[in-house]
Amino acid sequence: MLKTILSISGKPGLYKLISQGRNMLIVESLIDKKRVPAYGNEKIISLGDIAMYTDTDDVPLKDVLQAIKEKEGGNAISMELKKATPDDLRDYLAEVLPTFDRERVYVSDIKKLISWYNILIAAGLTDFETEQAESSTAE
């Protein structure tokens, strides 16, 4: 599921891949459902390709999102991002991912993670483990 959810540099929110055109992608905003083109010169990253730094190995974003979902009981995170201190954000991530690398994971990364999680929950996309099940059945 996360392979088709995209983050586009310079554009707020997350986008779902709808189709591919010539030299561009057609994406739909998860926030307002508007469809827009995304061009090759924009930095486009699939959430399935993102991982969080830890003290040992990198942890795929889907595992971090699943841990947040379990902590929050499938609900959105109620933390006020604009009022949260850097220590509040680090403490929250430490509850979810105790081994995260405190030097390489910035406060802005934690804010982005929380806002992405809330966008996915609001859009009804809560099954973060789907890819693992699909890849094991395909083998």
Instruction: Give yes or no for a contact between 97 and 59, defined as CB atoms under 8 angstroms apart.
Output: yes
Angle at 44 between CA 42 and CA 49, to 5 degrees: 160
- Element containing residue 29 per DSSP (H, E): strand 24-29
Q: Domain of 7: which CATH number?
A: 2.30.30.730
What is the tens place of the pLDDT at every residue in 48-104? 999 999 999 999 999 999 999 999 888 888 888 889 999 999 999 999 999 999 999
Structural domain harbouring 29: 2-47
Same domain, 97 and 127: yes
Same domain, 39 and 70: no
Q: Which amino acid is at 55?
A: D
Same domain, 115 and 72: yes
Res 120: pLDDT: 92
Instruction: Give yes or no for a contact between 94 and 113, defined as CB atoms under 8 angstroms apart.
Output: no
More confident residue, 127 or 107: 107
Helix, strand, coil distribution of the chain in percent, nearest 5: 40, 20, 40
Q: Domain of 119: which CATH number?
A: 1.10.10.1650
